[in-house]
Amino acid sequence: MLSKFAAPSLVIGAFLGLSFALSLNHFFCTHLIPVNFMIIGMAAILSGCIHAPFTALALL
């Protein structure tokens, strides 16, 4: 069962991934796709919150 912090952690992970990708695109002139980093950030924060990395990847 997911914890009560699952939905906020998805939003925070998406925001952190988006801000990371946009800052790399802006300061280092890379051409990264921000949506990919949003998904990675969501999986990383959710897996840290529920202590189950494979479950977090399957949920996303």
Q: Mean pLDDT for each 10-residue chunk of the chain (60 residues)?
A: 78 96 97 96 89 82
What pLDDT was estimated at residue 52? 84
Q: d(Cα 55, Cα 46) in Å, to the nearest integer? A: 9
For residue 21, is it within any domain? yes
What pLDDT was estimated at residue 2? 63
- With beta carbons less than 8 A apart as the criterion, state whether 34 and 26 touch: no
In this prediction the pTM is 0.85
Q: Which amino acid is at 10?
A: L
For residue 49, is it within any domain? yes
Determine the structural domain holding residue 27 and report its residue range: 6-59
Domain count, the chain: 1
What pLDDT was estimated at residue 56? 81
For residue 1, is it within any domain? no
Pick from 58, 23, 17, 54: nearest CA to 36: 17
What pLDDT was estimated at residue 1? 57
- With beta carbons less than 8 A apart as the criterion, state whether 12 and 60 touch: no
For residue 36, is it within any domain? yes
What pLDDT was estimated at residue 30? 96
